[in-house]
Amino acid sequence: MDTAYFASGCFWGTEYYLSKAPGVHTTTVGFMGGHVTAPTYQQVCTQTTGHLETVEVVFDPQLTSYEALIKLFFETHDFCQTDGQGPDIGPQYRSCIFYRNQEQKAMAERYILLLQEKEFSVATDLQPASTFWKAEDYHQQYYAHKGTLPYCHAYRKIF
């Protein structure tokens, strides 16, 4: 198994799409990138922790690739929007790929460059992965439990 970390707005919508990708074993929503240890959702919502709503994706590299997940990441959110995603505004909703190694970083840089060549203004940040803090249980698999579709994420073919 391998692991990837993506932030693209509300973690519920991000998880919804990534959890359905072939080869994905598990998804977990949480927080990454900030300076507060073991933050709560309420703390992150104050916009003072530095954390982004993030999805941890555990996948089988025999069944899917990190590249396929990056494509899906970019095709399911507005990577041009700064400081939020759709109606969700704030630094915790920024678009970011947290890379675990130089191969993941290089792949992310490749796709950002491809998007820029297509004349997109890419707001997605790249950061080294740090400690991932799991969000409270009621946030996990939110749309699967609620039985509805994401309100600020939608799929659009780009690649």
62 burial via Cβ count (<10 Å: 0-12, 13-18, 19+): exposed
Domain with residue 43: its CATH number is 3.30.1060.10
Residue 41 backbone phi and psi in degrees, to 5: -60, -45
Strand order in the sheet with 2-8: 125-128, 95-99, 2-8, 52-59, 24-32, 133-134
- Structural domain contains residue 75: yes
Residue 77's pLDDT is 96
Residue 83's pLDDT is 87
- Structural domain contains residue 49: yes
The reply to whether 10 belongs to the active site is yes
- Structural domain contains residue 156: no
Residue located via tokens 């950002």: 112
**Which residues form the domain of 135?**
2-146
- Structural domain contains residue 159: no
Residue 116's pLDDT is 98
Residue 86's pLDDT is 84
Out of 10, 45, 96, 152, pick the active-site residue. Answer: 10
Residue 152's pLDDT is 82
- Alpha carbons 126 and 118: distance in angstroms, whole number: 19
Residue 3's pLDDT is 98
Residue 55's pLDDT is 98
Retrieve residue 49's tokens. 């922790």
Residue located via tokens 């990441």: 73
Cα 67 versus chain centre, distance: 14
Residue 146's pLDDT is 86
Residue 148's pLDDT is 86
**In the chain, how many domains are there?**
1
Residue 41's pLDDT is 97
In the predicted model, residues of the chain with pLDDT beneath 50 are none
- Structural domain contains residue 93: yes
